[in-house]
Amino acid sequence: MLSWLAPLAALLLGLARSSTPPVLAATSTVNLEAEVGFAGRFQLGHPFPLEITLHNAGATTDGTVEVQVWKRGGAKGIDSYPVYHRKQVFLPAQTQKKVRFTIDPDFLSRPLSATLTTPTARARREIDLRAHFSTRPLVLLVSGAPAPLTLPLPQGFASPVVKVPLSELPADPRAYLGVWAAIFYEQPLRELSRAQVFALEEWLLWGGRLLAIAGLNEAVFDDANWARFLPVRVAGRHRIARPETLQKAYGPLPAGEVWAYGAAVVKGKPLLQEQRLTIAAEASRGQGKVVFLSLDIGRPPLARWAGLPKLFSELLGAPPEFRVTWAAAWDDNAFARLLSSRSFLPYYAPATSFAAWLLAYAAAVGLALGYGRKRGVGRRFLIGAWLAIVFCFSVAGYVYFDRGGKPLDGVLFEAVLLEPWSEGYAEAQANIALFSTRQRPYRVKLENGWSHLEMVSPVGAKESSPPLGIASDGASSELDIGVGEWSYKLFRVRAAVPLALSADARARGDRVELEIANHSGRSFAGCWFVVAGKAFFVGDVPARARIVRDFPRGDKAQSSRRGLGDISFDDPVRDFLFRHVFFSDQARPRDMGGGAVFFGWMQDGIRTARPADAKVSPVHHALFRASFSLPDEEEP
């Protein structure tokens, strides 16, 4: 009976084989090579760049480059899962092309695989990562000097120093997450692309350290890109006659004239001064720092200076910590409770429409029966009419309920926690859920500057769901996520965002003064201030407003009957997020006991993810939270 299955299976198998181009050997018209990290080095446990060089010895063609890496759930109880990074490429005839990815595998034991697929050929290469990793963060050296520069590193400095041409600096900030510092010596930045500048800026916000070292030519710093970074304005060279401060701090200088640039500090602070000349200055940028050194350490006499390693060690500081500590409780338990909130889902059960269709169907059948009786038509006609009504109502009702009404396939829910960094920047930790009413793949756009993507729970993933894919172009990326029917997937990302809101709290005896300066165009609603466990309602903070309020502290604070548990907002979803996600037992700020915390909901808040199609409804909530320790200050 099933004899037709065998030829059908053979046909399908044949089609599948013919549609998959063979993996080609070195003699193929297309081939690929891969370079891992920065000159073959990367820091273990952090994202790193991967450069794929594509060779096309044949005719002009289009193709797809795909890199597969494996992520693990590990302690999160999620099985390991593959992540695919994809890019479309156009390959002219007889050319080679470079494609860059930023990848973040969790396994060294599993080689990563890179594949180039064109309509006529397929080339694949497996890359063993074990020969490339370092347990220490890298130091990048970008030198524009004609002579090679040897960095005066302190003894025992274990981090690999990698020389990188300016053009090969990544355009994706995540590629820098295994980098301690980027050192630029006598290097103009005019040739940097906008994406490269953006990547460096984002990395600085996350905690990177950029060290600019002067060389022979002051014109090096005379470009717009350097002006964005430098804490100083460079003008002229000056001879330091008696560098006493330098010698006192770092040891005797070798014989010869010591020159330094005139550096007027425009932002940040001077670190080292000699005879009113700023020798070193630094400026904070988010969690990171930009340091300027006005001495030419690449040429005599300073190149021979024994004090340089100590100076360099101070300028480099401690290696940054790029690992993220998630400040909100975001897991299946939290989301399952959120799902039971009516306000969460802007999806309605079409009960009224259903009842209307039911009545219409009954009316149609009734009319047909009535007509049949009145006209005395035969039973055969009635049965035919009933079957026709059944068929028409089945098809029309299916189409209506499937595509009419509310054509909603899913909800992209985002709960962002904003915590202030320095200089008008904030860290945004976005807790994201993609809820789906049907089994289908989704595409989610991640805003520029995201990092630390982490799948929290692949709940409901059926085997037929496509694995996680990342299509990235520079800093912007799109996620391809498959979600099952009436199921969801949880993930979270981190981003550094500009936020012109400063919050400060100062203890003044038995009072606490709270000062909020909102220079941004966004308002904040439902703001509260909690001091020593007692909650005070602050109200709304409008856009471009400054609010200064006094609150009682200590025994006087007992006048407020409200604690953290009594705080409520008008929105049940916000109530839930406040209690169970942002201020749950494991997510409360550390200073809640003796310190204070200010928080409020940002209206039209910052988003890190957006749905790529109209059948997904975005739901967004963003809470700004600033916590303060309150050391006593004297009364002014």
Partner 1 sequence: MRALAHPVLREAAQVYLVEGKAWPAYLYFFLFLAAVQVLTLFLPLLDPGGWMGAAQLFKISSVVVLLAGVYFTLRLVNQEYVPWRFATLKRWLGDGLDPDSLLGAQLALVALWGGLFVVAALPLMSWAAAIARAGVGTLASVLLMIFGYFATYGVWGLVALNLWEVRVETRHIAVRLFLGVLFLVTALVYLPLNSVAFILSYLGGTDLGDPVSLFGRRIAPGAVHVFFHGLLFAGGVGLSRWVLARRAGG
Judge residue 39's burial from the number of C-beta atoms within 10 Å of its C-beta, 0-12 exposed, 13-18 middle, 19 or more buried.
Answer: middle
Contacts to partner 1 from residues 450-469, by CB under 8 A:
462
- 436's enclosing H/E stretch is strand 425-436
By CB under 8 A, name the one of 8, 306, 383, 545 that touches partner 1: 383
Note the helical H segments in 328-378: 332-339, 351-375
* 438 touches partner 1 by CB under 8 A: yes
Rounded Cα gap, residues 17 and 415, in angstroms = 45
By CB under 8 A, name the one of 6, 351, 375, 631 that touches partner 1: 351
Determine the longest span between alpha carbons in the chain, in angstroms. 123
Residue with Cβ nearer partner 1 (273 or 439): 439
CB of 391 to partner 1, least distance (A): 8
* 349 touches partner 1 by CB under 8 A: yes
Could you give the 3-state DSSP secondary structure of residue 366? helix
- Interface stretch with partner 1, choices 26-34, 146-154, 478-486, 516-524 (CB under 8 A): 478-486
* 172 touches partner 1 by CB under 8 A: no
By CB under 8 A, name the one of 9, 10, 59, 358 that touches partner 1: 358
Q: Which long-range contacts (CB under 8 A, 24 or more apart) does 610-613 make?
A: 610/412, 610/444, 610/445, 610/447, 611/410, 611/412, 611/442, 611/443, 611/444, 611/445, 612/442, 612/443, 612/444, 612/445, 612/478, 613/409, 613/442, 613/443
- Interface stretch with partner 1, choices 238-246, 391-399, 492-500, 601-609 (CB under 8 A): 391-399
- Interface stretch with partner 1, choices 389-397, 531-539, 557-565, 618-626 (CB under 8 A): 389-397
- 314's enclosing H/E stretch is helix 308-316
Residue holding tokens 């109209």?
A: 614
By CB under 8 A, name the one of 90, 348, 371, 537 that touches partner 1: 348
* 342 touches partner 1 by CB under 8 A: yes
CB of 586 to partner 1, least distance (A): 25
- Interface stretch with partner 1, choices 79-87, 225-233, 386-394, 446-454 (CB under 8 A): 386-394
* 600 touches partner 1 by CB under 8 A: no
Rounded Cα gap, residues 81 and 459, in angstroms = 13
CB of 600 to partner 1, least distance (A): 26
Measured between alpha carbons, how far is residue 371 from residues 357, 374, 377, 432 in Å? 21, 5, 8, 57
* 332 touches partner 1 by CB under 8 A: no
- Interface stretch with partner 1, choices 114-122, 176-184, 312-320, 481-489 (CB under 8 A): 481-489
* 377 touches partner 1 by CB under 8 A: no
Number of residues that bind partner 1 (CB under 8 A): 36
CB of 392 to partner 1, least distance (A): 9
By CB under 8 A, name the one of 394, 558, 559, 568 that touches partner 1: 394
Please, which residues bridge with residue 103 across strands?
A: 48
CB of 573 to partner 1, least distance (A): 11
Pick the closest to residue 89 from 35, 19, 30 (CA basis).
Answer: 30
Cβ atoms of 481 and 441 within 8 Å: the answer is: yes
CB of 607 to partner 1, least distance (A): 24
* 617 touches partner 1 by CB under 8 A: no
* 15 touches partner 1 by CB under 8 A: no
Residue 130, Ramachandran bin (φ over 0: left; ψ between -120 and 50: alpha; else beta): alpha
CB of 589 to partner 1, least distance (A): 29
DSSP tag of 93 = T
Residue with Cβ nearer partner 1 (2 or 158): 2
By CB under 8 A, name the one of 145, 153, 249, 339 that touches partner 1: 339
Rounded Cα gap, residues 159 and 509, in angstroms = 48
By CB under 8 A, name the one of 379, 521, 586, 590 that touches partner 1: 379
* 586 touches partner 1 by CB under 8 A: no
Measured between alpha carbons, how far is residue 290 from residues 196, 270, 448 in Å? 16, 12, 22
Residue with Cβ nearer partner 1 (267 or 615): 615
* 616 touches partner 1 by CB under 8 A: no
Rounded Cα gap, residues 280 and 295, in angstroms = 8
Contact code string over 506-525 relative to partner 1, x by CB under 8 A: --------------------
CB of 402 to partner 1, least distance (A): 4
* 614 touches partner 1 by CB under 8 A: no
Sign of the Cα pseudo-torsion (377, 378, 381, 386, in order): positive
* 356 touches partner 1 by CB under 8 A: no
Please, which residues bridge with residue 162 across strands?
A: 140
Residue with Cβ nearer partner 1 (90 or 398): 398
Measured between alpha carbons, how far is residue 554 from residues 276, 329, 591 in Å? 47, 30, 15
Rounded Cα gap, residues 112 and 293, in angstroms = 40
* 433 touches partner 1 by CB under 8 A: no
Could you give the 3-state DSSP secondary structure of residue 251? coil
Note the helical H segments in 54-151: none
Rounded Cα gap, residues 120 and 59, in angstroms = 10
By CB under 8 A, name the one of 64, 120, 313, 341 that touches partner 1: 341
CB of 158 to partner 1, least distance (A): 50
By CB under 8 A, name the one of 81, 157, 347, 569 that touches partner 1: 347
CB of 332 to partner 1, least distance (A): 16
* 371 touches partner 1 by CB under 8 A: no
3-state helix, strand, coil in the chain (%, to 5): 25, 40, 35
**Strand 112-117 and strand 61-71: pairing?**
antiparallel
Residues that bind partner 1 (CB under 8 A): 339-342, 345, 347-351, 354-355, 357-358, 361, 379, 383, 387, 390-391, 393-395, 397-402, 409, 437-438, 462, 484-486
